Amino acid sequence: METISEIVEMDHLNHARFESWHFSQDFCITCGMCSSSCPVSGIDGFDPRKLVRMVSLGLEDQVIEARWPWICTMCAKCEHVCPMEINIPAMVRNIRGLRDREKVPGILHKGLAAALETGNNLGLPKEDFVFILEDVAEEIKEEPGFEDFSVPIDKQGAKLLTTIHNKLVNTHTEDLKHWWKIFHAAKEDWTVPSDNWEGTNWGLFTGDDESMKIMAGRIAENMQRLKIETLMWPE
Ligand code: SF4
Ligand code: SF4
């Protein structure tokens, strides 16, 4: 966050700019509870209390261009402790949605574009995805007690469908094993879809409602297609 050194004339600000936002931002009493609870408070000077004040004052360009909204993890601790029930995470999401899509931080923008086009943030072809899943399953089979393990891909009528975070088939396949071994030990009737399996929804993170709906809708379509009633969406 850049230090704002210019003196801002309060009368010149458009205080009504965000008045349609119903996050109670104008009720802030600057108590600092949000700042104290925030796990990323202080990073690059980030302070949720100051962000609330900027929105309340209608500092449009400054909040849209600021790095602060992209530092927030949207964990909602601040909302939980705020005595005025100000919904800071939702406010942050709205701010993100105002930024030109080409200026959304790189990995989020590129990952979402890839997901919309291919069904996953990596742009991983279906054959490669299935190959990785089966390769991980083979490794599990080598462990004592898991000799009969196999990965149920696109299993019609399974009890549970799980999505997968892209990093689990990229750099964190060990985490994938943990999940699957629990399923196996619990005798769970589960499956993973071979298309649109992405578990992250960067439409949600970037304040892009349309993309968020597309990503969520694809998971619902998978459940309908495979006739599954229970979803495990670990992200
Ligand atoms: S906790 Fe709520 S009232 Fe207190 S400073 Fe933060 S936003 Fe304002
Ligand atoms: S939602 Fe954002 S601002 Fe609020 S506590 Fe979490 S990281 Fe901090």
- Domain co-membership, 80 together with 118: no
Instruction: Determine if ligand 2 sits within 6 Å of the CB of residue 84.
Output: no
Instruction: Determine if ligand 2 sits within 6 Å of the CB of residue 71.
Output: no
Q: What is the CATH number of the domain that holds 50?
A: 1.10.1060.10
- Domain co-membership, 34 together with 130: no
- 228 in a structural domain: yes
Among 23, 24, 25, 31, the mutation site with the greatest number of ligand 1 atoms within 8 A of its Cβ is: 31
- Domain co-membership, 181 together with 114: yes
- Domain co-membership, 203 together with 222: yes
Tokens of 72: 């927030």
- Domain co-membership, 118 together with 94: no
- 14 in a structural domain: yes
- Domain co-membership, 188 together with 223: yes
Neighbour-count burial for 208-225, b at 16+ CB within 10 Å, e otherwise = beebbebbeebbeebeee
- Domain co-membership, 38 together with 62: yes
Among 34, 38, 44, 84, the mutation site with the greatest number of ligand 2 atoms within 8 A of its Cβ is: 38
- 187 in a structural domain: yes
Domain count, the chain: 2
- 4 in a structural domain: no
Domain that holds residue 26: 10-99
CB 129 within 8 A of CB 123: no
- 2 in a structural domain: no
The residue from 64, 99, 134 where one domain ends is 99
Closest CA to 77 of 143, 141, 23, 33: 33
**pTM as predicted:** 0.82
- 5 in a structural domain: no
- 222 in a structural domain: yes
- Domain co-membership, 121 together with 66: no
- Domain co-membership, 73 together with 145: no
Instruction: Determine if ligand 2 sits within 6 Å of the CB of residue 93.
Output: no
- 210 in a structural domain: yes
Instruction: Determine if ligand 2 sits within 6 Å of the CB of residue 36.
Output: no
The residue from 99, 134, 166 where one domain ends is 99
The residue from 63, 79, 99 where one domain ends is 99
- Domain co-membership, 88 together with 135: no
- Domain co-membership, 78 together with 119: no
3-class SS letters over the chain: CCCCCCCCCHHHCCCCCCCCCCCCHHHCCCCCHHHHHCCCCCHHHCCHHHHHHHHHHCCHHHHHHCCHHHHCCCCCHHHHHCCCCCCHHHHHHHHHHHCCHHHCCHHHHHHHHHHHHHCCCCCCCHHHHHHHHHHHHHHHHCCCCCCCCCCCECCCCCCEEECECHHHHCCCHHHHHHHHHHHHHCCCCEEECCCCCECCCHHHHCCCHHHHHHHHHHHHHHHHHHCCCEEECCC
**Binned average pLDDT, 10 residues per bin, the chain of 235 residues:** 64 79 90 97 95 92 93 95 96 95 89 94 95 95 94 97 91 90 95 95 94 96 96 85
- Integer Cα distance of 229 and 157 in angstroms: 9
The pLDDT value given to residue 68: 95
Residue nearest to ligand 2 atom 8, measured at CA:
38
- Domain co-membership, 60 together with 87: yes
